[in-house]
Amino acid sequence: MGVLLLCGTRKGLFLIRGDDARRNWDLEKTLLSGWSVFHAVQDPRHGDLHVAANNWVYGGTTHRSSDLGKTWERSEGLGLPEESGLKLEEVWHVEPGHDSEPDTLWLGATPGILFRSGDRGESWEPVRGLLEHPTRDRWQPGAGGMCCHSVQIDPADPKKMFIAISAAGTFRTEDGGETWVPRNKDVAADFMPDPFPELGQCVHKLLLHPARQDRLWQQNHCGVYRSDDRGDNWERLEGNGLPSGFGFPLAIHPRDPDVAYVIPEEGAENRVTSDGRLGVYRTADGGASWELASNGLPEPAWGAVMREGFASDRNDPAGVYFGTQSGSVFASSSEGDSWTEVARQLPPVLSVEVGEWS
Amino acid sequence: MVVVRIPSLLAVQAGGQGTFEVEAETVGGALRQLPVSDLLIDEHGELRRLVNVYVDGEDTRGLEGLETPLAGASELRVIAAVAGG
């Protein structure tokens, strides 16, 4: 099995095939030309590719392929009910469902929308519990719109899920999506009159650790956070090696719940990588300290990595991958110890995910 | 019978077909018969903001929009507005 990188870009989807040793990488021709691919993922249960794609003119949709991109089917009629008064703006993130529900997928979208598919992505229905959430009138859009960009499912229980919306915050459900509770205690929202509100936080990326399901990591507009009690309490993790708490992408180690990676930016008012370098920062102690892991990365560099642009594989040692707004894709087969540029001059990279090919 | 022509990106989504012959009384009636109708008309039944539709060269937004009658018309052309980046 080789690693397959799915790189969503502003202008189509690019697949990059790695060999078994993750040393040689082949860039394939563009797929889904004309679509802005916000996120693409390979469903580990079936191998299907699922793509959240948007077009300036024709709106947001999803595409799926069961033959690694040779042919595609598009879901038709994606939208919101008229009585909601809302229209679908963009689709942001496709998340394969729990292993026990092999035909279920989830799709995060703007404005603050979660869709569920029960037929492997052929059709989608909005999750009413979120669409009609009683706090919706208090949600505010971030610069990218009010996007639901993170969907995390507890591997131990398909009814327990987390989503994050910018800027509404983190929400948890324990009943499969019927009801959602905000989980943002001690998470800052410096742009609000009350800097620690119940909701309204600008989460940039949220991940649940698959091996320790109580643990969540969060890269926020206002800091990097960890929760060890499923979002009930959050601890801010900076001032200990990170040059900035601001950033978008986040990656975690597939097995070690204490290892995470971020790529900080200068700040909200200057969204370029910190200190004039493309710097990955890694923690091996749950965020108590961070070290720069930039061996092989360019310097000087004023790039940026989007919220979906960072991923890890399940190999040992783990591979870590990210793509930049400048059109480069970097890979590390050594858990971040060293990096190699595996593609360059792509359109701006919006997302990176890891799949496999044989 | 009216001939409907769609842009190449939509033709890819329609299985490679860029021209359709349809029977319809209105512009909306014709567009709704296309396999890419949801990319032209949103979930509330409105023409997407950056989609322009011309009946024999005339912009339907200056006529009756999706309700524009097609009686006597021969060609319906779908053109994306100049937008994007």
CB contact under 8 A, A78 and B38: yes
CA angle B17–A13–A304, rounded 5-degree value = 145
- Cα separation of A254 and A252, whole Å? 6
| DSSP state letter for B68 | -
DSSP string, A21-86: TS--EEEPPPBSTT-EEEEEEE-TTT--EEEEEEETTTEEEEEEESSTTSS-EE-------GGGT-
Mutate to test the interface with A, among B37, B38, B46, B79 (most CBs of A within 10 A): B38
- A71 contacts on B by Cβ (under 8 Å): none
Mutate to test the interface with A, among B32, B33, B39 (most CBs of A within 10 A): B39
Q: Tell me the shortest Cα–Cα distance from A61 to chain B, in angstroms.
A: 9
B83 pLDDT band (50/70/90 cuts)?
low
B66 SS3 class: helix
Q: Which pairing describes strands A270-273 and A260-267: parallel, antiparallel, or unpaired?
A: antiparallel
**Nearest chain A residue (CA) to B45:** A82
Q: Tell me the shortest Cα–Cα distance from B36 to chain A, in angstroms.
A: 8
The beta-carbon neighbor of B39 closest among A10, A58, A87 is: A58
Handedness of CA A114, A6, A155, A245 (dihedral sign): negative
Tokens matching residue B59: 């912009």
A284 SS3 class: coil
The pTM of the full predicted model, rounded to 2 decimals, is 0.97
Q: Give contacts of A 40-59 with B, CB under 8 A.
A: 55-59
pLDDT of residue A142: 80
| Predicted-assembly ipTM surpassing the 0.85 threshold | yes
CB contact under 8 A, A59 and B48: yes
Tokens matching residue A53: 């794609």
* Residue A253 · residue A207 · CB < 8 Å: no
B85 pLDDT higher than 70: no
CB contact under 8 A, B10 and A58: yes
- A74 contacts on B by Cβ (under 8 Å): 13
- Cα separation of A218 and A202, whole Å? 10
- Is A61 within 8 Å of chain B by CB? yes
The A349-357 sheet, strands edge to edge: A25-27, A12-18, A2-9, A349-357
Q: Tell me the shortest Cα–Cα distance from B25 to chain A, in angstroms.
A: 23
Write out pLDDT tens, residues B8-23.
999 999 999 999 999 9
- Is B12 within 8 Å of chain A by CB? yes
pLDDT of residue B84: 57
- Cα separation of A21 and B83, whole Å? 43
Mutate to test the interface with B, among A9, A32, A55, A57 (most CBs of B within 10 A): A57
- The arithmetic mean of pLDDT across residues B37-47, rounded, is 97
CB contact under 8 A, A57 and B42: no
The beta-carbon neighbor of B48 closest among A58, A74, A82 is: A58
Rg of chain B, C-alpha, whole Å:
12
The beta-carbon neighbor of A56 closest among B42, B44, B83 is: B83
B7 pLDDT higher than 60: yes
- Cα separation of B37 and B23, whole Å? 15
- Is A268 within 8 Å of chain B by CB? no
- A80 contacts on B by Cβ (under 8 Å): 43
pLDDT of residue A332: 98
Contacts of residues A227-233 at CB distance under 8 Å and 24 or more positions apart, as own/partner, are A227/A183, A230/A160, A230/A162, A230/A172, A230/A183, A231/A162, A231/A170, A231/A172, A231/A183, A232/A183, A232/A185, A233/A185, A233/A186
CB contact under 8 A, A55 and B81: no
For chain A, residues with pLDDT lower than 70 are none
pLDDT of residue A1: 85
pLDDT of residue A238: 81
**Nearest chain A residue (CA) to B43:** A79
A275 SS3 class: helix
